Structure formats: structure tokens, C-alpha cells
């Protein structure tokens, strides 16, 4: 069941929160040894939270996520457990309190089962590290589940939990969601506060690119998350957040721009074919579909700025796998360009509602052992392609701080899930999620191989 279905079942007392919690724990214990998604287990506290959820519902008190089993990425603080980001240097760390977003999940009644696997420093598309080892995908255990929220996507696809909290800087929510055939949402920048999301409990300023967002088995579940975890923190001058409702309630009202090319990133025929099929479906539903527009911001300029910002951020935490950092003045100049891109996209979205494009250029790729991105290649339609250039698809939304929702689009010829992403205007997260729900209802989720 989806989180929304579970909430409805709890409401009519079809089952209890403690039953859901026990069922989730049993499934994790039976199947996770083959997947290795849930690397930090908080089962005893989860069962206590489930018992309190049942007591609250017996009194007629049911909040948005009361009794719903959820998991969170290892990169979030969870009181009493480490926040290592896969780094042995932080293996002795123990969080004193939950991350702010996790606190908000619990205030909404969620039952937190534990934390899911990540790559070191969240810097790869494969969740593997010296502390927790590697996470597999049930569709083909020889392939990566994506990252850096790969353990997050695995927990949802394996039905270990109903909702997951991940993070995204380089497609870290959207790529694993696409690889697993589930939904994932990269929110507008700073929509969800990042307090308690740093390695070893470090106190850091909000980052220029990173966001926190949900992964789930339905778009309806994604829509629940912003109402729970979004909003200003104590460091913000704002005192409330009012997100705009979806622009449209029917597919035929949407104006969709289909983007199937990028100056750096390529996509193989299975991804582009799925994108074309979705575009055809939208046309059949009488939506407005375009593939060319003079309003489209310069993707080459965006790509350069995104790379500069991203590699400078990475060099602070992982200098071995990054380019040399830039000067403070160069950094400020890049932030100026980022603001310009924001304004250009704002004008673009006066004329369009959605940009539809790949989330990644292939389906799930084979596990790799080479840690240096510059030494890897990716097979696209039988030809080698630059591995790191796939950041181009993620960077379109990330560098401009836009919301983007990963949408499952069926399976390729080898039965691996395919996903695309819908990008929208800044702070119009409910529009991309609603659009994902409207098109996603047409596609059945893939079967698990286990």
C-alpha cells in the first residue's frame, strides 16, 4: 500500500500502527540481507512510536502520518545513532537530536524505522562505503540502485517503508527513483530546512544547491511530504510558507516543453523512446506539447555554472574527487549567474508549465569499483559516453533551484525501470507533483525480482 492508503486503513481501523510496524520489520529482516538498504535500524523505538500512534488514534487523534512506517537517509541525524555519510572518520559520532526534517516527520506521527545507505560524502550514484558496504537493486543485483539516495529508493521499492526522506544535489533523489520505478521529488531550493543534515553532526550553512525531499510509491504520497516537512527554520526571516496550488487539474490544460537534448549529457534510445511515448500520450490528452522555444535558457551556460558550483562544494568535503576550488570573488560571480538563470526560467514558465526531460541517460548501470568519476565511462546505445556528464540532466533544475519530480515510465527491453523528470517553476512544487500523478497513473510499477 501507499502511505495514503495506509493512512486511510488506519483511519477506519482496518489494522493498527503496531501491525504495520511489525510487518515492516519482518519484511526488512527477511529481504534486506540481499539488498542492504536499511543500514541503521531503530526498531525498538519504532515499536514504541507505533504503540503511541495507536493510543493517539484510539483518542481520535490522527495527524498526516500517524502510524505510517518511514525511513530516512543515513545523512540525517537520528537521535542515538551515527551520522557518518559513509566516512570511517565519523564512525564514533552519535547524534544528540533528530534532524529538523526528521523532527517534523515525527511530529506528524510517522514511525521512523531507521536509516538507509549512502555513498561516501553523498558523492556518487552508487550507495557503497567502508562502513555499510554496498546496496543492490532487486531488479538486477549486478546493477547500482543509483544515488546518493540509493538506499532510500530501495527501501521504498522493496516496501520496507511507505515514505522516505532523501536529499539531492546531483540528481540524488531523481536518479535512484528513476532506476527503481518509483516517485521522487527534488523540492525548490530551501523549501525544506537542512538543519541536522551534515556529516558527523557538523554545523554548516545552507548549501547553494542541496535540497531535502521525499521518495514514495505514489505522487499522492509525495504531495503529503511538503505539508509536513517544508517551511522556514529558526534561522529564517520568514514565519510561514504558502505553496501555490497546482496550476491545472487536468492534463489537457498543461503546456509541456519536451527537452530531449543537452549540450553535455546524452540519453539512450530506451529513455528517449519513453519520453516520446509520454509526449504522445500528452498530445492525445489534448495537452500543449512543444519541443522548440526561443525562451529556453542557455543550457551550455547553465552547465558551466552548475559544474563550477558543484565541484567547489565537493572540493570542501572530498578534495580527492573534485577540481580545484575557485576564489571567493569567482564564487560570488557564479551566484550572480545562478540568479540570472532563475529569472530566465521564471519568464520561461510564464509560457510553459512543465519541462519534461530525462532524469538520467540510461537505466540502472552495472556496479562499479572505480571511485574516480573521470576514469569511468557509461554505455549509451552501445557506445561509451562520459559518466560525469550525466549530471547535466540533474543540473537543469538544480542550478536554477527549481522543483523536479521523477516519474516512472515503465520498463526497458531488459525489464529495468525507466524514469523521466518533470521540472517546474520555483516554489510551484505542487504543480510538478500533480503532473507526475496525472501521467503516472497510466503506468504500472515494475515487479520485483525477489
Tell me which of 24, 73, 149, 161 is the catalytic residue.
73
Q: Cell 544535489 maps to which residue?
A: 169
Beta strands 255-258 and 354-358, pairing class = parallel
**Dihedral of alpha carbons 42, 45, 50, 53, sign:** negative
CA 86 vs CA 58, 92, 119, 209: distances in Å = 41, 12, 6, 21
Active site residue 161: no
Cα–Cα distance between 139 and 179 in angstroms, integer?
Answer: 9
CB 1 within 8 A of CB 9: yes
Helix (H, G, I), strand (E, B) or coil at 399: helix
Sheet of 111-116, strands arranged across: 38-41, 111-116, 69-73, 163-168, 211-216, 183-186, 404-411, 417-423, 354-358, 255-258, 288-290
Q: Report how far residue 319's alpha carbon sits from residue 128's, in angstroms, rounded to the nearest whole number.
A: 18
What count of other Cβ atoms lies within 10 Å of the Cβ of residue 269? 13
Question: Of 75, 172, 218, 270, which one is the catalytic site residue?
Answer: 172
Is residue 149 flagged as an active site residue?
no
Q: 232: buried, middle or exposed (CB in 10 Å: 19+, 13-18, 0-12)?
A: middle
DSSP class of residue 92 equals: T
Judge whether 148 counts as a catalytic residue: yes
Other CB atoms within 10 A of residue 377 CB: 13
Q: Which residue is catalytic, options 148, 152, 161, 425?
A: 148
Separation CA 286–CA 253 (nearest Å): 8
Active-site residues, by number, are: 73, 148, 172
Amino acid at each position: 500500500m501507499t502511505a495514503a492508503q495506509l493512512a486511510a486503513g488506519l483511519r477506519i481501523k482496518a489494522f493498527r500502527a503496531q501491525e504495520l510496524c511489525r510487518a515492516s520489520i519482518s519484511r526488512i529482516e527477511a529481504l534486506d540481507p540481499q539488498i542492504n538498504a536499511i543500514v541503521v535500524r531503530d526498531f525498538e523505538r519504532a515499536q514504541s512510536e507505533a504503540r503511541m500512534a495507536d493510543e493517539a488514534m484510539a483518542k481520535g487523534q490522527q495527524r498526516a502520518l500517524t502510524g505510517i512506517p518511514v525511513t530516512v537517509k543515513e545523512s540525517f541525524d537520528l537521535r542515538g545513532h551515527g551520522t557518518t555519510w559513509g566516512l570511517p572518520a565519523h564512525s564514533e559520532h552519535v547524534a544528540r537530536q533528530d534532524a529538523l526534517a526528521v523532527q517534523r516527520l515525527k511530529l506528524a506521527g510517522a514511525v521512523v524505522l531507521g536509516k538507509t545507505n549512502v555513498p561516501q560524502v553523498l558523492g556518487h550514484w552508487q550507495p557503497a562505503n567502508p562502513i555499510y558496504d554496498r546496496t543492490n537493486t532487486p531488479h538486477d543485483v549486478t546493477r547500482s540502485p543509483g544515488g546518493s539516495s540509493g538506499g532510500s529508493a530501495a527501501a521504498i521499492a522493496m516496501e520496507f517503508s511507505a515514505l522516505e526522506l532523501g536529499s539531492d544535489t546531483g540528481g540524488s533523489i531523481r536518479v535512484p527513483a528513476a532506476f527503481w520505478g518509483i516517485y521522487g521529488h527534488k523540492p525548490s531550493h530551501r523549501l525544506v530546512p537542512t538543519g541536522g543534515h551534515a556529516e558527523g553532526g557538523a554545523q554548516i550553512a545552507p548549501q547553494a544547491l542541496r535540497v531535502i525531499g521525499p521518495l514514495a510509491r505514489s505522487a499522492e504520497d509525495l504531495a503529503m511530504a511538503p505539508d509536513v516537512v517544508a517551511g522556514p527554520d529558526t534561522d529564517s526571516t520568514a514565519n510561514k510558507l504558502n505553496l501555490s496550488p497546482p496550476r491545472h487539474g487536468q492534463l489537457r490544460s498543461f503546456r509541456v516543453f519536451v527537452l530531449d537534448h543537452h549540450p553535455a549529457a546524452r540519453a539512450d534510445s530506451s529513455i528517449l523512446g519513453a519520453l516520446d511515448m509520454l509526449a504522445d500520450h500528452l498530445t492525445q490528452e489534448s495537452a500543449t506539447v512543444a519541443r522548440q522555444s526561443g525562451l529556453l535558457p542557455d543550457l551550455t551556460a547553465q552547465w558551466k555554472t552548475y559544474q563550477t558550483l558543484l565541484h567547489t562544494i565537493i572540493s570542501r568535503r572530498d578534495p580527492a574527487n573534485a577540481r580545484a576550488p575557485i576564489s571567493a570573488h569567482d564564487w560570488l560571480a557564479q551566484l550572480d549567474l545562478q540568479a540570472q538563470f532563475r529569472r530566465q526560467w521564471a519568464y520561461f514558465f510564464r509560457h510553459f508549465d512543465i519541462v519534461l526531460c530525462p532524469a538520467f541517460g540510461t537505466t540502472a548501470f552495472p556496479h562499479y569499483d572505480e571511485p574516480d568519476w573521470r576514469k569511468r565511462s557509461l554505455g549509451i546505445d552501445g557506445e561509451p559516453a562520459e559518466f560525469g556528464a550525466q549530471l547535466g540532466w540533474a543540473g537543469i533544475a538544480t542550478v536554477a533551484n527549481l522543483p523536479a519530480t521523477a516519474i516512472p515510465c515503465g520498463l526497458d527491453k531488459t525489464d529495468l525501470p525507466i524514469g523521466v523528470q518533470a521540472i517546474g517553476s520555483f516554489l510551484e512544487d505542487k504543480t510538478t507533483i500533480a503532473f507526475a500523478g496525472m501521467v503516472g497513473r497510466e503506468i504500472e510499477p515494475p515487479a520485483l525480482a525477489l
